[in-house]
Structure 1
Amino acid sequence: MKNHIENVINWLRQQVQDAGVNGLVVGISGGIDSAVVAHLIQRAFPEDSLGVIMPCKSNPEDAKYAQMVVDSSGINSMTVDLTETHDVMFHTIKSATSEWNEEQEKLADANLRARLRMSTLYTVATNYKFLVVGTDNAAEWHTGYFTKFGDGGVDLVPLIHFTKGEVRELAKELGVPDEIINKAPSAGLWEGQTDENEMGTTYDMIDRYLKGEDVPEKDKQIIERMHHNTAHKRALPKAPPKF
């Protein structure tokens, strides 16, 4: 893992140099993936890295874990509370929509939060001349478990070749607090939400699938269906052929 960490840090530095910018910014949720990225970018750019904590109707526990990431990594940080912004925007959109689909409300609400966070990160990044660093790992990238133009709207994705298990190993090597490493993965989109309950399978199963190992047929079907249905998230916008 020491070699992987050094390689990623060197890669991050090269991307900043190639882009002619000053440093890197990441959104810190208090989860393991953003914790690992925060530690990596702080090591790559001790003075020119920034972690942004963006509560949005969030569980107060999330702020506690996010602060643990800041303290353990030593990264510069700021907090932008998006709760009021989200309320105004969501209710404005909802009230202007003549046929509101109540069945889709939870998803629309959650995706708007993710996209507000993306807009916040890019506004901050522009101010400091930074690149926005994403936190998706191999399992999330393969299954499309991210919001298009939300947490998927980034410049760099340093973790997409690492399984969830490998991210845990990186976290241990980097000094991420055990409380963060061991807590149930969650996007914090609503009370009691966890990644694995929402996906219907586990990160362990997805990791095994990605390594070419045998997994139960039920899990295999879930993983392959998610990958197929989210192909558009991993591709550039489609255009017709030139007529």
Structure 2
Amino acid sequence: MRAGVIGTIDGKFDEIEPFHQTQEQDGRRFTRSLQVNRTSHRDSGYTVYVGEAATQVIEDVESVKVDPETGEISVGERPTKESKYTQFVAVPGVFIAVSSGSGTFAFDLLQSQHPGTHIERAELNLNAYADDYYTAEGVDPWQIGFYGNIGQAEKGVVYGENVISDDDIGDVLERSQINQLGLQYEMMGYDMKVTLAESGYVEVYNPSNIETEEFAEYIADEILAYEKEK
């Protein structure tokens, strides 16, 4: 994994154990599972768990019927049992990141393992992150998504090189809230190119071969310090 949606963990536990559970509800059997594929004890002091999770849920699916006699079309919804799947990487007691927004069900699976633990999707303060890195030597902001500007450009996404210094859009970016931020910088011994979202999504484009465990350390050491206070 080198991309994921972060869930921060409020609660202390030392390990993540695999489990699966099947239960019956309204005459249907539902199974959910969380599996650990490998565990790594890092020099940084983190224990990183890499795994996958799946669950079955009821979702309303569009249903279309055509009357064979009249040709009349009727459109409705029917409840259907669907399966969801995600990969995850986690540091116990710190965070779990899932491979997409649809995978946040894994937050609930992990919570069910550890009563009293609360896992919530992270919200990042990208304005604070940007302030720390715009002035740093060798940092190139290549993407900025913004909103909340008073003026003709209320929101948008800007791409380019050193976009904050642009004569036309730079002032708009400076006074706006940032919800997307793309940076190129030296980090963890790599020339990294990343994109961050206020909603807790992080993706590393370069290096393309970064290890999942390194991605976890990047989140824990670099990103979580910029989580918004709730």
- Specify the TM-score bucket, using the shorter chain as the normaliser: under 0.3
Structure with bigger helix share is 1
Decide which structure has greater strand share: 2
The higher radius of gyration belongs to 2
